[in-house]
Structure 1
Amino acid sequence: QVQRLADDHANAVFLAEGLSGLGYSVEPVQTNMVYVQIGDRAAALKAFCAERGIVLTAASRLRMVTHLNVSRAQAEQVIAAFAAFEHP
């Protein structure tokens, strides 16, 4: 179980670094939670991600949580969707 938590935290860092690399404001990761500032484009990003099977709330600040049911590949999909949103 300790390894599982370590994997979750590693995926959170991976996700945060990927989103930060795209220019998003990401708070420092301390656990398996990633906080991202989206701003006034939240509704557009929510709709864009929904088309790709990614569920977001339409809030200016997102909280993403990595856990047992979130794989590295899924974190990569989120980063790719955000990249496609930024650079269509």
Structure 2
Amino acid sequence: MNFYVNEIIQDNSSEKQYRIVWVDSGNLILYLIELNNKNAFPEKKPISKLEELIVLDQWRKIKEDKYIKNYSSEYEIKHYSVRDSICLK
């Protein structure tokens, strides 16, 4: 099982969600930080333990990230127009 930076995982018993902020190159440990807690501090977790918790359905990966804002296509079109008008002069 792979874990990636910025991935969100959830503790099913407490409903707390965490964002992965760092994964070591050997895939042995990772650091995660609790979301929705302004006093949260990064926590170190062994990847093997997290894999076990997910297999046992005590934790789960969250597919959709509600914390990322998607900008409208109007916003993008406006900026492409400005970029093109500057570059084509």
Q: Is the shorter-chain TM-score for this pair beyond 0.5, marking a shared fold?
A: no
> Higher helix fraction: Structure 1 or Structure 2?
1
Greater C-alpha Rg: 2
Higher strand share: 2
TM score, norm. by length of structure 2: 0.31
Structure of higher RCO (CA pairs closer than 8 Å, 6+ residues apart) = 1
